[in-house]
Amino acid sequence: MNIHSDAYPEPIARLQNENKYLKEELREEKEKLENIIKTLNKEIEKLKNKNTTLNNALTDVKVQNKSLSSQTEKCEKIIKERFYYTI
């Protein structure tokens, strides 16, 4: 039946039109939210990649720090030995 015919009383036709409008609004809002979710997922992936890069850099710095600490300890030992022999 045509919703604008005389077969439907006016309140029913009004409610059907409102229902149609609300369904369209819901569809549009759903589409917007899906786009927002896609955008946020892309941003999350970028942040995960950046986090991985930073974690790798941090690991490299820790390794370098250990190496430098080891070298410093060796130098301190050599200096102490030389100082001990000169006294």
Element (H, E) at 82: helix 10-86
pTM over 0.75: no
Round to whole Å and give the CA distance between 15 and 22.
10
Round to whole Å and give the CA distance between 45 and 55.
15
Round to whole Å and give the CA distance between 60 and 41.
29
Q: What is the pLDDT along the chain (87 residues), one digit of tens a residue?
A: 455 556 678 899 999 999 999 999 999 999 999 999 999 999 999 999 999 999 999 999 999 999 999 999 889 888 888 877 665
DSSP structure class, residue 8:
S
